[in-house]
Amino acid sequence: MERTEIESLGEFGLINHLTQNNETVQASTLLSVGDDAAVIDQFGKQTVISTDMLVEGIHFDMMYTPLKHLGYKAVAVNVSDICAMMATPTHITMSIAFSNRFSVEALSEFYEGVYAACNKYNVDLIGGDTTSSQKGFVISVTAIGEVTNNQFVCRNGAKENDLICATGDLGAAYIGLQILEREKRIFLENPTIQPSLQEKEHVIGKILKPEARLDVVEWLIENKITPTAMMDISDGLSSDILHICRQSNVGCLIYDEKLPIHSQTKEMAMEFGLSGTSCALNGGEDYELLFTIPQSDYDKIVLSEKISVIGYITTAEESYQLITKQGNKHKLVAQGWSAF
Amino acid sequence: MERTEIESLGEFGLINHLTQNNETVQASTLLSVGDDAAVIDQFGKQTVISTDMLVEGIHFDMMYTPLKHLGYKAVAVNVSDICAMMATPTHITMSIAFSNRFSVEALSEFYEGVYAACNKYNVDLIGGDTTSSQKGFVISVTAIGEVTNNQFVCRNGAKENDLICATGDLGAAYIGLQILEREKRIFLENPTIQPSLQEKEHVIGKILKPEARLDVVEWLIENKITPTAMMDISDGLSSDILHICRQSNVGCLIYDEKLPIHSQTKEMAMEFGLSGTSCALNGGEDYELLFTIPQSDYDKIVLSEKISVIGYITTAEESYQLITKQGNKHKLVAQGWSAF
């Protein structure tokens, strides 16, 4: 039998390969595989569904991830996918597999985080599965949300001249992860040295306990702003904006100087010999929202401190460009986070 | 910190412990944790949601599980949970984690089975996640179904004198698993010996490629039979009937001679020094439906070859009893399948 390595396709190539013959038959299926979430028609309103799996050693390291934070994050990143459709999260299911090195107390701590996130985002935990694993902790969450008929926002609606917006700040989670990995190495070499995490709360908080930007979705709805395209930034801005561009058949122009980067991110990036810009472009796991709006909505969006305009949509022919602070043009290349 | 071993609580004790403070806030949450599936109110119809995780080495052994069958089974067992609510399955999401020993061809084979099951049960695959794992293959499926308002059937509605019914035949999956485990041991000792699986197609089919009993749900709906309680048999009859009894606050009386046991199951059970009855009672993974109906529906149910009446519901005081072929009474004890 032929053997094709998964690496040769990459994550998105693999998904395309596995779903290329996926035909839907239910009339209620409005949107299937390929966006942040799927959409099902439900008799007047619409249901949005998304699912995410977190695997120990791939997505998190138990050595520096408090279980309560992990439970919170597992919910938040799924809620984030629902938010990325401009929908309101309502329910989640949570399945976990864990080895016998876990105690009941450890699982209770994990669930404390789960419930804290449910409480924060006003979602109900309505089901799940608990099972053992031979090795490692695996978490699978499915999130469900609702949206007024046809008000959900996909990745494929960006139009030429639309403004590109990002929420919060970018690159912090990536730098937070670098710090945790460094402290882990130091600890493993010399367990008596205490980790130095002072004045790094923001970047470490972003990797250990990210928040879904439900607040921004609610603000957009309140202010009657409907993005033309939207997704959440989980793989890194440069990778994720290309999803919007390719699915919308447009290009983009991003301004380096407009990228929202926290001062802690910049400082720590320097310590690691990186630039804040490269963290913002290529670092993953920010779980901020990336969306496009018509220029006519600029006056409304400028009122929000939570939202930065970082560039605009061009024609597909103009490709994907970054304008540096010196005014040079570079081609944006997806080199974000990869789980493979 | 105190350490309580998971084994000391067991799976259901653990779930109770972790969900005891789970409060739902969404008005649309009609049924939460504790049944085969949860139910969400969706503006006129109702949505039923269930999720299940399958872990390599715990739920399946890659040595004798063809990937296509595994993909089929992962869908079927989740569809089974939707059927167990008397609902019609409509959609699934599928998340998988796998190590780099998997090739694209292997995953394609797995998905062939997934699509075959989607096709069989008329459900749409609408989303998922693919990620890597350090070790082992993990599959998490969420199934979604719909049901006419308040027509879903829970585990807690069984009434005294109701008839207890089971679909298909019981214990076959357990015996099928014993055969596969035996052949694996023989193969490991002497790889030149070919497995002898002739005349064992039924029992091996039941463990490798179980079917959800959507056909029975459709038959019941057609014939206007509404069970008072229902679940699917995944842990073994003796364990699962106790769920119905405890949640309905009733007892039960099961007749050994009424248990539907396939001739292959009986024959092979003898080879393993087991009785067909103990396989039917304690073997798991049958994915048949277990339900209760009022005695007045007996005339309707007797028409179906797919359904066996195996006993009746008693008062809680009469506890859980098995009447042997010799007429002796034994107390039914849950000793079914455990993933811990």
Say what the pLDDT of residue B1 is.
Answer: 62
Q: Please give the model's pTM, rounded to 2 decimal places.
A: 0.91
The upper half-sphere exposure of residue A121, i.e. CA atoms within 13 Å in the direction of its Cβ, equals 36
> Do the Cβ atoms of B104 and A56 come within 8 Å?
no
Residues of A in contact with B115 (CB under 8 A): 21-22
Q: How far is B58 from chain A (nearest CA, A)?
A: 7
Percent of chain A with pLDDT over 90: 67
Say what the pLDDT of residue B31 is.
Answer: 81
Mean pLDDT rounded to a whole number for chain B: 90
Stretch A252-276: mean pLDDT: 96
Stretch B281-301: mean pLDDT: 95
Among the listed residues A57, A72, A243, A42, the one whose alpha carbon sits nearest the alpha carbon of residue A146: A42
A23-27, A213-217, B252-256 — which is least confidently predicted?
A23-27
Say what the pLDDT of residue B28 is.
Answer: 79
> Do the Cβ atoms of B4 and A43 come within 8 Å?
no
Pick the CATH number of A27-148 from 3.30.1330.10, 3.40.50.150, 3.40.605.10, 3.30.70.20: 3.30.1330.10
Say what the pLDDT of residue A239 is.
Answer: 92
Residues A330 and A321: their CA atoms lie apart, in Å, by 6
Say what the pLDDT of residue A134 is.
Answer: 85
Do residues A51 and A94 make contact, with C-beta atoms less than 8 angstroms apart? no
pLDDT-derived band at B339 (thresholds 50, 70, 90) equals: very low
pLDDT digits (tens, 9 = 90+) for B260-283: 999 999 999 999 999 999 999 999
Stretch B79-99: mean pLDDT: 93
> Do the Cβ atoms of B133 and A129 come within 8 Å?
no
Say what the pLDDT of residue A4 is.
Answer: 82
Say what the pLDDT of residue B127 is.
Answer: 87
H or E element: which one contains A97? strand A88-98
Residues of A in contact with B59 (CB under 8 A): 131
Chains A, B: CB contacts within 8 A come to 259
Stretch B193-198: mean pLDDT: 77
Interface probe for A, chosen from B53, B77, B146, B285 (most Cβ of A below 10 Å), is B53
In this structure, how many other beta carbons lie within 10 angstroms of the beta carbon of residue A300? 14
Among the listed residues A329, A231, A340, A235, the one whose alpha carbon sits nearest the alpha carbon of residue A282: A235
Among the listed residues B47, B12, B45, the one whose alpha carbon sits nearest the alpha carbon of residue B29: B47
Any residues with CB less than 8 A from the CB of A253 and at least 6 apart, and which?
A: A311, A312, A313, A314, A318, A321, A322, A323
Residues of B in contact with A129 (CB under 8 A): 51-53, 140
Residues of A in contact with B44 (CB under 8 A): 43-44
| Nearest residue in A to B25, CA atom | A124
pLDDT-derived band at B71 (thresholds 50, 70, 90) equals: very high
Amino acid identity, residue B318? E
> Do the Cβ atoms of A93 and B142 come within 8 Å?
yes
Q: What is the 3-state secondary structure (H, E, C) of B139-198?
A: EEEEEEEEEECCCCCCCCCCCCCCEEEEECCCCHHHHHHHHHHHHHHHHHHCCCCCCCCC
pLDDT digits (tens, 9 = 90+) for A62-97: 999 999 999 999 999 999 999 999 999 999 999 999
Q: What is the residue extent of each domain of chain A?
A: 27-148, 163-331
Any residues with CB less than 8 A from the CB of A281 and at least 6 apart, and which?
A: A170, A171, A236, A237, A238, A259, A322, A332
In this structure, how many other beta carbons lie within 10 angstroms of the beta carbon of residue B44? 11
Q: What is the DSSP string of B28-44?
A: TEEE-TTSSSEEEEETT
Interface probe for A, chosen from B60, B94, B131, B234 (most Cβ of A below 10 Å), is B131
Stretch A307-333: mean pLDDT: 94
Say what the pLDDT of residue A41 is.
Answer: 79
- A158: phi then psi, degrees, rounded to nearest 5: -65, 135
Residues of B in contact with A96 (CB under 8 A): 53
Residues of A in contact with B29 (CB under 8 A): 91, 124, 126
> Is the confidence at residue B39, as pLDDT, over 90?
no
CATH class of the region A163-331: alpha beta
Residues B83 and B79: their CA atoms lie apart, in Å, by 6
Interface probe for B, chosen from A23, A39, A114, A129 (most Cβ of B below 10 Å), is A129
| Nearest residue in B to A147, CA atom | B42
Residues of B in contact with A82 (CB under 8 A): none
Say what the pLDDT of residue B26 is.
Answer: 79
Residue A75, token pair as written in the block: 């919910």
> Is the confidence at residue A337, as pLDDT, over 60?
no
Domain B6-148 has CATH 3.30.530.20: no
Helices and strands per DSSP (H, E), number in chain B: 10, 13
> Do the Cβ atoms of A126 and B24 come within 8 Å?
yes
> Is the confidence at residue B299, as pLDDT, over 50?
yes
> Do the Cβ atoms of B140 and A53 come within 8 Å?
yes
The upper half-sphere exposure of residue A188, i.e. CA atoms within 13 Å in the direction of its Cβ, equals 8
Smallest Cβ distance to A133: which of B26, B44, B58? B58
Residue B69, classed as helix, strand or coil, is helix
pLDDT digits (tens, 9 = 90+) for A123-142: 898 888 888 898 889 999 99
- Greater confidence (B69 vs A1) lies with B69
| Nearest residue in A to B61, CA atom | A134
Stretch B328-338: mean pLDDT: 76
Smallest Cβ distance to A340: which of B38, B105, B132? B132
The upper half-sphere exposure of residue B291, i.e. CA atoms within 13 Å in the direction of its Cβ, equals 33
